[in-house]
């Protein structure tokens, strides 16, 4: 996969455009994200449209990109900012709490160039509360 194509996916993801999943994921995609597993476009859309984007502004930042015809690997920094107070997939939050994930993500591509498998590996996951308290989350989910 060319970097420009991947960058377009990340741009659309950062804009919270769920149709990016329709355009870039295989219908039977499997994703392992910490202890969470998603299957297919519907699983991905459910996770982001119902569990992440209503509660957080999420920004993915690609720090390193490596690819060939069958794989993409990225080093990623993802920054989440809580939009609302309440119970979330990361636990209870107040508006303005932030979470920073740093890690590596491996994407396998099918014959159509769509993501068929995504594996997320955590190096760190840190929460910074509005109060200034910093908490190492380990692997939160």
Query: Going residue by residue through the chain (141 aa), what tens digit of pLDDT does each one get?
Result: 999 999 999 999 999 999 999 999 999 999 999 888 999 999 999 999 999 999 999 999 999 999 999 999 999 999 999 999 999 999 999 999 999 999 999 999 999 999 999 999 988 999 999 999 998 887 655
The neighbouring-strand residues paired with 25 are 115
- Specify the long-range contacts of residues 43-48, CB closer than 8 Å, at least 24 apart: 45/18, 45/21, 48/16, 48/18, 48/21
Domain boundaries, the chain: 3-136
Q: Does domain 3-136 have CATH number 3.10.450.50?
A: yes
Distance in angstroms (rounded) separating the CA atoms of residues 62 and 10: 8
Q: What is the pLDDT of residue 137?
A: 84
Residue recorded with tokens 């109060």: 131
Neighbours of 87 (CB within 10 A): 9
Q: What is the pLDDT of residue 53?
A: 97
Q: What is the pLDDT of residue 140?
A: 53
> Is 44:26 a contact under the CB 8 Å cutoff?
no
Q: What is the pLDDT of residue 138?
A: 76
Q: What is the pTM of this model?
A: 0.91
């Amino acid at each position: 996969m060319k970097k420009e194509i991947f960058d377009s996916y990340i741009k659309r993801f950062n804009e919270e455009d769920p149709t990016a999943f329709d355009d870039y994921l295989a219908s039977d995609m499997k994703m392992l994200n910490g202890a969470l597993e998603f299957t297919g476009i519907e699983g991905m859309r459910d996770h982001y449209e119902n569990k992440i984007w209503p509660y957080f502004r999420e920004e993915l930042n690609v720090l390193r990109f490596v690819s060939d015809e069958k794989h993409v690997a990225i080093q990623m920094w993802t920054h989440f900012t809580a939009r609302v107070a309440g119970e979330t997939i990361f636990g209870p939050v107040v508006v303005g709490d932030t979470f920073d994930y740093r890690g590596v993500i491996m994407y396998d591509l099918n014959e159509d160039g769509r993501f068929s498998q995504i594996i997320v590996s955590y190096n760190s996951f840190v929460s910074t509360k509005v109060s200034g308290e910093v908490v190492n989350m380990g692997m939160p989910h």
